[in-house]
Amino acid sequence: MTPTRSTLRIYDSAAREVRDFVPLVAGKASLYVCGLTVQSEPHVGHVRSGVNFDVLQRWLRHSGYETTFIRNVTDIDDKIVAKSEAAGRAWYEHAQIMHRELSKAYAALNVAPPTYEPLATGHIPEMLELIELLIERGHAYAAADGSGDVYFDVRSWKAYGELTGQAVEDMEAAADADPRGKRDPRDFALWKGAKPTEPATASWPSPWGRGRPGWHIECSAMAGKYLGPAFDIHGGGLDLRFPHHENEQAQSRAAGKPFAAYWMHNAWITTAGEKMSKSLGNSLTIPSVLQRFRGIELRYYLVSAHYRSHVEFSFDALEEAAVGFQRIEGFLARASAALGADQGWLATMPPEFTDAMNDDLGTPGAVAVLFDRVREGNTALAGNDTASVQRILGEVTLMLDVLGLNPADEAWGAPAGGDEKLHHAVDVLVKSLIDQRAAAREAKDWAAADAIRDQLKEAGVEIADSPSGPTWSVN
């Protein structure tokens, strides 16, 4: 085995190239990811970003970086207000219900919690502070129309457009946007004055009257609060590049903060060639997908594609992924059974896996290494090569842990005590049938033997003959 010499390289979407990851502080990594606006049930697309950045978090930690990971939740915005009204409940109740759904979805996919998950509504003072600083520095202004709005002055910040490589002159002004008191149609709201039609609870006091934050300011304020004026990586979905991330960066830099050193954006999951948020229906919400597939299978499906590749979602593809993953689980089960308590603690991460992951989180290549090891492990198992099985099981487990795909991880909901008892009862019953079948086979009464196997299969119990005798499993 050749030791790996690679270091982490990531595609920086601001530079539009793969760059070596050099943290601001040696040995540490700081990461900010735009989480979701909790306005409706999370679907597969929403959760992709959670899974992708969870893999990044795990890989950074595995690589030895002391990692601070902040992933926010936007719990106040126009859509939340509108949807809560439609649902007939308060905006904060609606936001919290959806937030709980999101947390459940993350948990079901073994998305590890970030270091901290700040809420926009919990950071109004920090946002006000930042807005005042921008006004002082001449990059923001309170609207002259008395609306209580405060806008960022795009023309005052010559670097505006740098993140997405656009010239201000080429940007279309929002067709739908109400220009209100804007000096330039491209100026964006830092603070939105309260309107009489909106719930009174959705506004906070400010120097410009009651109101609520604009969308972008929260991330600048929260990233600044928890990670400092400069931090390593900012992540989010591709659609956030503009305007959200462009505005975050403009506002932060205009306030004198260097902000993110690297930008990472995950690509889409589409359905029928369309962005998921446009396709309606609820068949793709996490709870409904989880009725058909296990969380670990869905996670495997997401992890097996590169985070910057578009994924065309289909249940057929998910089904294939699930079958592939079961191959890994089959090896784990056989290897564990063969080794008993004597499992491999001494394993080291395969260098090919490390190289793949260091190459801009090349999870597809990493998964290929995983399958290579599984095949080797199966061969070792067939040859009763216990030492190799032990080593390979250890390697496979390490790789799965980093990808968040270890079936033994308690996050997947290990069976509780009650299940143990049930398992024992079933085991005794099935074993007696297996004995009967063995007797029939001894007598070369194949019809009787197959009848028992079929009967068990009918009940969902699969019998597999192995050199060390038959085993059973429920599928």
Residues 336-355 binding RNA (CB under 7 A) are none
32: three-class secondary structure by DSSP: strand
Q: Please list, residue by residue across 206-237, b when 16 or more beta carbons sit within 10 angstroms of its beta carbon and e when fewer do.
A: bebeebbbbbbbbbbbbbbbbbeebbbbbbbb
Quick one: 393 or 449, whose CB is closer to RNA?
449
Quick one: 48 or 257, whose CB is closer to RNA?
48
Quick one: 298 or 381, whose CB is closer to RNA?
381
If one asks whether residue 83 binds RNA (CB under 7 A), the answer comes out as: no
Q: What residues numbered 264-293 form the site for RNA, per CB under 7 A?
A: 266-270, 273-278
Beta bridge partners of 141: 151
Shortest Cβ 406–RNA spacing (Å):
18
Q: What residues numbered 417-456 form the site for RNA, per CB under 7 A?
A: 441, 446, 449-450, 453
If one asks whether residue 472 binds RNA (CB under 7 A), the answer comes out as: no
If one asks whether residue 176 binds RNA (CB under 7 A), the answer comes out as: yes
Residue entry with tokens 């896996």: 353
218: three-class secondary structure by DSSP: helix
Quick one: 155 or 423, whose CB is closer to RNA?
155
Exactly one of 173, 408, 414, 422 binds RNA (CB under 7 A); that residue is 173
Q: What residues numbered 217-246 form the site for RNA, per CB under 7 A?
A: 236-244
If one asks whether residue 327 binds RNA (CB under 7 A), the answer comes out as: yes
Q: Is 270 within 8 Å of 234 (Cβ atoms)?
A: no
The first and second tokens of residue 441, run together, are 């086979």
Quick one: 21 or 331, whose CB is closer to RNA?
331
Quick one: 76 or 135, whose CB is closer to RNA?
76
Nearest CA-CA partner of 150 in 208, 77, 219, 194: 208
Quick one: 24 or 103, whose CB is closer to RNA?
103
Exactly one of 63, 96, 343, 378 binds RNA (CB under 7 A); that residue is 378
- Provide the mask over 12-51, with x wherever binding to RNA is found by CB under 7 A and - wherever it is not: ----x-----------------x-xx-x-----xx-xx--
Q: How many residues does the chain have?
A: 475
Task: Round to whole Å and give the CA distance between 384 and 328.
Answer: 19
Fill in the amino acid letter for 308. R
Shortest Cβ 417–RNA spacing (Å):
29
Quick one: 348 or 466, whose CB is closer to RNA?
466
Per DSSP bridges, beta strands 150-152 and 188-193 are: antiparallel
Shortest Cβ 26–RNA spacing (Å):
28
Q: What residues numbered 107-136 form the site for RNA, per CB under 7 A?
A: none
Residue entry with tokens 């592939």: 324
Exactly one of 171, 230, 426, 433 binds RNA (CB under 7 A); that residue is 171
418: three-class secondary structure by DSSP: helix
Residue entry with tokens 């992924």: 321
Task: Round to whole Å and give the CA distance between 102 and 333.
Answer: 31
- Provide the mask over 149-168, with x wherever binding to RNA is found by CB under 7 A and - wherever it is not: -----x---------xxxx-
Task: Round to whole Å and give the CA distance between 189 and 185.
Answer: 11
Rg (CA), the chain: 27
Exactly one of 64, 172, 346, 469 binds RNA (CB under 7 A); that residue is 172
Nearest CA-CA partner of 67 in 105, 21, 110: 21
Quick one: 23 or 374, whose CB is closer to RNA?
374
Quick one: 144 or 173, whose CB is closer to RNA?
173
- What are the angstrom distances between the C-alpha of 211 and each of 38, 74, 148, 201, 401? 20, 16, 7, 10, 45
The first and second tokens of residue 434, run together, are 């297996």
Query: Which range, of 118-126, 137-145, 398-406, 462-470, touches RNA by CB under 7 A?
Result: 462-470
The number of beta carbons lying within 10 Å of the beta carbon of residue 26 is 7
Query: Which range, of 19-27, 54-62, 372-380, 427-435, touches RNA by CB under 7 A?
Result: 372-380
If one asks whether residue 310 binds RNA (CB under 7 A), the answer comes out as: yes
